[in-house]
Amino acid sequence: MATSSSTARRNRAIGQNLRAAGLALASIVFLIYVLAPVSWLISSSLQQEAALTSVPPQWVPEEPHLDNFRAIFSAGEEEKVTYETRREADTASGGFIPSTAKNLLPAMGNSFIVSIAVVILNLIVAVPAAYAIAKIRFYGRSASIYGILITRVIPDIALIVPFFLFIRNLGLLDTLTSLVITYLAVTVPFSVFILVSYFEQLPDELDKAARVDGCSRIQTMTKVFLPLAAPSLVALSLFAFLTSWNEFLLALMFTQTAASQTLPIIVASFTSDFTISFSFINAAGVLAIIPPVILAIVFQRYIVSGMTAGAVKG
């Protein structure tokens, strides 16, 4: 009997060790899959152009340098590759500055302005709408929820023509305002849907008690429900910021000049010059991912709890 019990414990221990080893191996494979492209982006931004095509590739640069980053901040002072000088250039030596490089930092500023505006307006619109749908029983409430869900199954590319006609009739083409309006149309439905699910989990007694104490609807929303919804609000703000920061298609359609173009458009324009410097493009990519990474690190404890807050109803 004792032998049988010890054998069972040993088998359980072996099974637990095998599961732990399998989980560790799967985690390592997943981390390599996720981090390898980012690692190569950073590594290649610190290499000369010739090193990018070396075999085997240099995951750790032998002679790292910051020339690409310096070029970004001094792009307006550097000589550009022109039609007359392109034949004299050696593509392996690197050092090429795209003609649109001087627009990179202003475009990053445009992306910040648009993203912050979308986050603020997204919360201003989504929070009252979600609170009203979740806690106020009115005619057409169910239809409102289904209408919000329907907007999320329509691909963005199907909305390009209506958006373009709408923006053109308002006279807002080639402005940051056009991007803010269209990005709100993309982000607000998702934000409302998530917040409705979250607010519905909170007891109705909180709403009733606040109303009995003399709070108006706005006071109940701001003083009772908003503090409880902080994780969801942070997560939705990150969603709205990242969506606006990374969006390419709408920005391509509605902006034509550097005054209103955002970061993805300028980075994409680096491939349209006479000579393409992939190390320079990757350096621009590194700058582009820094703000989202910083935000994700600062607010990482809110992300999972906020995005899953409305996933289970009970």
Average pLDDT over residues 5-21: 79
- Expressed as residue numbers, the domain containing 28 is 2-45
- Asked if 15 and 130 sit in the same domain, the reply is no
123 belongs to a structural domain: yes
Q: Write out the DSSP string of 176-188.
A: HHHHHHHHHHHHH
CATH number of the domain residue 256 falls in: 1.10.3720.10
Number of residues that make up the chain: 314
What would the two tokens of residue 92 be? 């392996």
- pLDDT exceeds cutoff 50 at 86: no
For residues 114 and 261, membership in a common domain is answered with yes
Domain match, 174 and 285 both: yes
Mean pLDDT of 82-106: 62
Residues 38 and 289 sit within 8 Å (Cβ to Cβ): yes
Residue 117 has pLDDT above 90, yes or no: yes
Domain co-membership, 147 together with 257: yes
For residue 277, what pLDDT is reported?
76
Residue 133 is encoded by which pair of tokens? Answer: 């749908």
CB 111 within 8 A of CB 183: no
Place 304 in a pLDDT band, splitting at 50, 70 and 90: low
Residue 248 lies in a domain: yes
Q: What is the pLDDT of residue 96?
A: 66
Question: How much is the pLDDT for 87?
Answer: 45
- Verify that 27 and 165 share a domain, yes or no: no
Widest pairwise Cα distance in the chain: 91
* pLDDT, the chain, mean: 81
* 25 inside domain: yes
**DSSP string covering 74-109, please?**
TGGGSPPP-TTTGGG--TTT-----TTGGGHHHHHH
pLDDT given for residue 91 in this prediction: 44
Count of structural domains, the chain: 2
For 211-270, the pLDDT digits (tens) are 888 888 888 888 888 888 888 888 889 889 999 999 999 999 999 888 899 999 998 888
Is residue 106 within 8 Å of 257, Cβ to Cβ?
A: no
Whether 70 shows a pLDDT value over 90: the answer reads no
* Predicted local confidence at residue 197, as pLDDT: 84
- Asked if 244 and 257 count as a contact pair (C-beta separation under 8 A), the reply is no
pLDDT score recorded for residue 184: 92
Q: Which is nearest to 99 in space by CA: 86, 80, 72, 83?
A: 80
In a domain, 312, yes or no: no
**What is the pLDDT at residue 15?**
78
**pTM, two decimal places:** 0.81
The pLDDT, as a whole number, for residue 254 is: 92
Q: Are residues 34 and 158 in the same domain?
A: no
Give the pLDDT mean for 176-205: 89
The pLDDT assigned to 273 comes to 61
Q: Are residues 7 and 131 in the same domain?
A: no
Name the phi and psi angles at 125, rounded to 5. -85, -45
Tokens of 242: 């990242």
Residue 310: its pLDDT value, please? 46
List the one residue out of 300, 283, 280 whose CA is nearest residue 292. Answer: 300
Q: How far apart are CA 236 and CA 266, in angstroms?
A: 27
74 domain-assigned: no
Same domain, 36 and 133: no
One-letter amino acid identity for 90? D
Domain presence at residue 270:
yes
Give residue 55's pLDDT band: very low, low, confident or very high (50, 70, 90). Answer: confident
Residues 8 and 123 in one domain: no
CA–CA separation, 150 and 157 (whole Å): 15
Cα separation, 260 vs 11, in Å, equals 65
Q: What percent of the chain has pLDDT over 90?
A: 22
Q: Are residues 152 and 293 in the same domain?
A: yes
In a domain, 80, yes or no: no
Asked if residue 232 is part of any domain, the answer here is: yes
pLDDT for 40 equals: 86
66 or 124: which leads in pLDDT: 124
Q: How confident is the model at residue 77 (pLDDT cuts 50, 70, 90)?
A: low
Residue 39 confidence class, pLDDT cut points 50, 70, 90: confident
Please indicate whether residue 73 or residue 95 has the higher confidence score (pLDDT): 73
Q: What is the pLDDT of residue 122?
A: 94
Question: What's phi and psi for 80, nearest 5 deg?
Answer: -90, 160
pLDDT confidence band for 309 (50 / 70 / 90)? low
